[in-house]
Structure 1
Amino acid sequence: MSLGPGLLIAAPRSGSGKTTIVLGLQRALARRGVRVRGMKCGPDYIDSAFHAAATGAPSFNLDSFAMTRSLLGAIVSGAAKEADLVIAEGSMGLFDGIRQEIGRTGASADIAALSGWPVVLVLDVSGHAQSAAAVALGCARYDPRITVAGVVLNKVASERHRRLVEDGMARIGLPVLGALMRNTDLALPERHLGLVQASETEELDARLERLADAVESAVDLDRLTALARPTRLDPAEGAIPLPPPGQRIALAADRAFSFVYPHVLAGWRAAGAEIVPFSPLADEPPPADCDVCWLPGGYPELHAGPIAAAQRFLGGMRSFAEAKPVHGECGGYMVLGRSLEDGNGVVHAMADLLPVETSYAKRKMHLGYRVARLVADGVLGTAGQCLVGHEFHYASVVDSDTSPGAAFATIADAEGNGLGATGHRRGHVTGSFFHVIAPG
């Protein structure tokens, strides 16, 4: 099988501007007629949706900790065989991950090493000049598995500033592929979990065009794309990201419920399942002819009032759950509970299908990989089944049933430290803050 070449766009740290530059690159190349496919390293729902908007093709997540080598191979090869060029985006800093054996740290560098894609560094050079070359040199030498092929300078203050930075890069022999001046107009709107979702970003296509114009005028696209190298991650047959929870799946899908990994949906469809979307914000109940209902994460805390007022939806959920399985992840779990307190301290009644009350007013960040083992048989597997995923939310549990028989799973962090029970199950309904990525 011939797989398209790829590049990984990364940075030494978060906040360097790699997402805006990646989107500009993807859109600029796509409008030239290049078949571009996006990829996102790590557990991030939002950026991959922007990639899809920029390229017109699905973008998938790649995770060296949560995914097996065979699953990574299946996802990468499936996308690369349909692409002229893969432009993957790193997460956090290039080497930032967890303490695990090399290759399973969850860091973007693992994906570069596995795929054979060269790394292009995005360097935020505000606040330094020639010293930026020392940072780039450190990235280039830190991990012998990868190749740092060049840099794109971001947030350049002036032409003089640019010349100083380029002087440092010339001393270490690292090509400067382009330089973007400091421009706050190019920034995308942000929210507490990252960027505002692609589906909610006003005039998204016009914003992407402006990013493409800026990148095309500042970056040597021909020189950059010439650095791409063939994808060497072998395809794997039969690697299923997550078995479908049913044959016909009712999927909540709107601005409040949108955090579903594209590789999970693609895996369900590949296994023969049908996905039927419905909108709780439009007061739609889950379709009665489905055999399972899935409430993904998202931003229900921003829409708690309309959800509480959506009586057709809530009543339909209760009726559905009388005889058929329902599962909620993170935001979906909160909606399946008794109540949800929004950021203003207003408590809203929810579906009352699980014995839990949550609050967004009492904010506390919960972030990290989780390894879960199911307490009982359910739509995600049999008792004892291992699942790998993550948590990323600010909500807190203010009241819940803590009896052992009510738990959904037991969880540990990425280093194996036990974190106790998580989530709830009652009747046909299960849920937790845990987002599943793949089977363990």
Structure 2
Amino acid sequence: MSIIIAGERSGVGKTTVTLTLLASLRRRGVKVQSFKVGPDYIDPMFHQYVTGLPCRNLDAVLTSENYIQKCFNHHSPQSEYTLVEGVMGLFDGIGQLANTNGKTDFASTAHVARLLNIPIILVIDCSRLSGSVAAIAHGYCSLDSRIKVAGLVLNRVGSDRHLSLLKTSLAPLQLPILGVLRRQDNITIPDRHLGLIPTSELPELDQIINSLADIGDTYFDWDKLLPLLKSSSSPIPNSQLPITNSSVKIAVARDQAFNFYYQDNLDLLEQLGAELVFWSPLNDSQLPKDIQGMYFGGGFPEVFAPQLAANISLIQAVKNSILAGIPTIAECGGLMYLCEQIIDFDGNSWPMVGILPTHAQMDKRLTLGYRRAVILENTFLLDSNKHIFGHEFHRSHLITNSPQPLFNTYRYDCDENTGFEGWYLPNVHASYIHQHWGESREIPQRFIQECLKNQQI
């Protein structure tokens, strides 16, 4: 058994409720495995900070329905308790019929709840509600008979009088109220242009988590919650992967500037025989020794552009390695780092690696959404005309398009063409599109095979 924390819409406090539950459970000294519905990177960072275990993404677009079930059934039983955080509102998903087999809420929290056959705890923002809360709760409980709402969490309750009105309204529904969170103006997690500020940049985070644990201990009904959260099934082993005969050493950039990675992708590389060496483009003066490949994830290079630009010896080492033929994957922030310059929100230009003859310029426009991408020509990772699925989430653009783009891209939900994307060099795969390799295992396999062709430097 497990539960999904769902919201009646975005912004109702799903992450706050999830972290409150996780913090309170960890204070009890139990092992907790968390999951996150959707493609998000930052919320899983907070989960992992609290639980000490990597959070796993459950995304039907980036992977598949079958992969969601396999991932959950493998990782959930390895901990005493399991918790899933939803995405957006409960039924908010992708509704394009050609790609979703008729499901109008494909990839939504409700979709994942049905796939895993686990109940939902619905979070309601009560800050502007009293008697109407019952209509909202009733609607969400009755819209889809295939899902079960196990109870409610009332968030942003203003006073004892307010809580009394809410309880009176909800009483005829006989829905358990499993938690009540008051308006906690002093417990906030700061954000910026792509969402919450990541955990590595929040020195006050321990204090916030402790405060949330206090709230969880006091204002949640643990007698009813613990049986719902208890893991019950036996783990399903991962399918066997071909393992390389010799280890390959891959340098993975991970620091405050580069930290957007799906844990499953890193696991796949290791299962295939890779030794992952984590290093910092911000703080290290040289690359790790004897590497045969490089992986730059997304993140916030624009925020740390002055420090990245100042690390001249490291920038030169990265450029020399790529010029020497080291296979390199760069996603979103990694793509920006490989450009000649990053131009920040204030118009300041900061020199970067320069392997891609273009500049990454920040702007106010948000590019967001799932993509279906068609590979234009054979690369060391992918064959031409193959379709892959990914996700874009950035506020920058390249001022010069690649003469050899990787993809012709389309919106997933309506097949609207969004243009050519990515930058291809013989040993570089650089793109704004984030990919989860759970159902595309040939990508890490081919990456490692390409790395093994190169003599160590």
Q: TM-score, normalised by structure 2?
A: 0.88
Name the SS for the 1:29 alignment partner. Answer: helix
Find the counterpart in structure 1 of residue 37 from structure 2: 41
Aligned partners of 2:373 and 2:389 also within 8 Å: yes
Residue 190 of structure 1 pairs with residue 188 of structure 2 = no
Find the counterpart in structure 1 of residue 224 from structure 2: 223
Q: Which moved more, 1:91-100 or 1:219-228?
A: 219-228
CA distance in 1, matches of 2:285, 2:299: 17
CA distance in 1, matches of 2:380, 2:159: 57
Q: Deviations over 1:17-66 (max 9, x none)?
A: 11111111111112213321111110111111111111122211101222
Find the counterpart in structure 2 of residue 62 from structure 1: 58
CA distance in 1, matches of 2:228, 2:328: 47
CA distance in 2, matches of 1:109, 1:183: 28
CA distance in 2, matches of 1:342, 1:330: 15
Find the counterpart in structure 2 of residue 336 from structure 1: 338
Find the counterpart in structure 1 of residue 361 from structure 2: 359
Q: Which moved more, 1:410-419 or 1:323-332?
A: 410-419
Q: Which moved more, 1:276-285 or 1:155-164?
A: 276-285
Q: 1:7 to 1:433 in 2, by over 3 A?
A: same
CA distance in 1, matches of 2:237, 2:276: 24
- Equivalent residue runs for 1:26-425 within 5 Å: 26-99=22-95, 100=100, 101-102=102-103, 105-228=106-229, 235=236, 237-238=238-239, 247-322=248-323, 323-360=325-362, 362-401=363-402, 403=403, 406-415=404-413, 416-425=415-424
Aligned partners of 2:27 and 2:213 also within 8 Å: no
Identity %: 34
CA distance in 2, matches of 1:160, 1:340: 53
Q: Which moved more, 1:371-380 or 1:61-70?
A: 371-380
Aligned partners of 2:77 and 2:234 also within 8 Å: no
Name the SS for the 1:436 alignment partner. Answer: coil
Q: Deviations over 1:219-258 (max 9, x none)?
A: 1122122334767799474287xx9xx9321111110000
Aligned partners of 1:371 and 1:386 also within 8 Å: yes
**Structure 1 residue 203: deviation in Å?**
2.8
Aligned partners of 1:66 and 1:106 also within 8 Å: no
CA distance in 2, matches of 1:170, 1:286: 62
**Structure 1 residue 150: deviation in Å?**
0.4
CA distance in 2, matches of 1:200, 1:389: 27
CA distance in 1, matches of 2:271, 2:372: 25
**Structure 1 residue 376: deviation in Å?**
3.4
Task: Tell me the amino acid that sits aligned with residue 409 of structure 2.
Answer: I
Residue 432 of structure 1 pairs with residue 431 of structure 2 = yes
Aligned partners of 1:13 and 1:92 also within 8 Å: yes
Q: 1:375 to 1:248 in 2, by over 3 A?
A: farther
Aligned partners of 1:122 and 1:153 also within 8 Å: yes
Aligned partners of 2:318 and 2:353 also within 8 Å: yes
Q: 1:180 to 1:104 in 2, by over 3 A?
A: closer
Name the SS for the 2:91 alignment partner. Answer: coil
Q: Deviations over 1:141-163 (max 9, x none)?
A: 12222111100111001111101
Q: Which moved more, 1:163-172 or 1:231-240?
A: 231-240
Q: Deviations over 1:150-187 (max 9, x none)?
A: 00111001111101111121122211112111111122
Aligned partners of 1:7 and 1:229 also within 8 Å: no
Q: 1:74 to 1:262 in 2, by over 3 A?
A: same
Q: 1:130 to 1:185 in 2, by over 3 A?
A: same
Name the SS for the 1:258 alignment partner. Answer: strand
Find the counterpart in structure 2 of residue 21 from structure 1: 17
Aligned partners of 1:116 and 1:229 also within 8 Å: no
Aligned partners of 2:344 and 2:361 also within 8 Å: yes
**Structure 1 residue 386: deviation in Å?**
2.9
* Structure 2: unaligned runs, 5 residues or longer: 441-457
**Structure 1 residue 317: deviation in Å?**
1.1
CA distance in 2, matches of 1:19, 1:69: 24
**Structure 1 residue 103: deviation in Å?**
8.3
Q: Which moved more, 1:44-53 or 1:425-434?
A: 425-434
Find the counterpart in structure 1 of residue 444 from structure 2: none
Name the SS for the 1:39 alignment partner. Answer: strand
Name the SS for the 2:200 alignment partner. Answer: helix
Q: Deviations over 1:370-404 (max 9, x none)?
A: 12233334453333343221000111222333x3x
Q: 1:376 to 1:325 in 2, by over 3 A?
A: farther
Q: Which moved more, 1:306-315 or 1:372-381?
A: 372-381
Q: 1:50 to 1:345 in 2, by over 3 A?
A: same
Q: 1:63 to 1:210 in 2, by over 3 A?
A: same
Name the SS for the 1:338 alignment partner. Answer: strand
CA distance in 1, matches of 2:233, 2:131: 35
Across the aligned residues of Structure 1 and Structure 2, the Cα RMSD in angstroms comes to 2.2
Q: Deviations over 1:206-229 (max 9, x none)?
A: 221110101211111221223347
Task: Tell me the amino acid that sits aligned with residue 38 of structure 1.
Answer: S
CA distance in 1, matches of 2:232, 2:41: 23
CA distance in 1, matches of 2:367, 2:232: 35
Q: 1:429 to 1:239 in 2, by over 3 A?
A: same
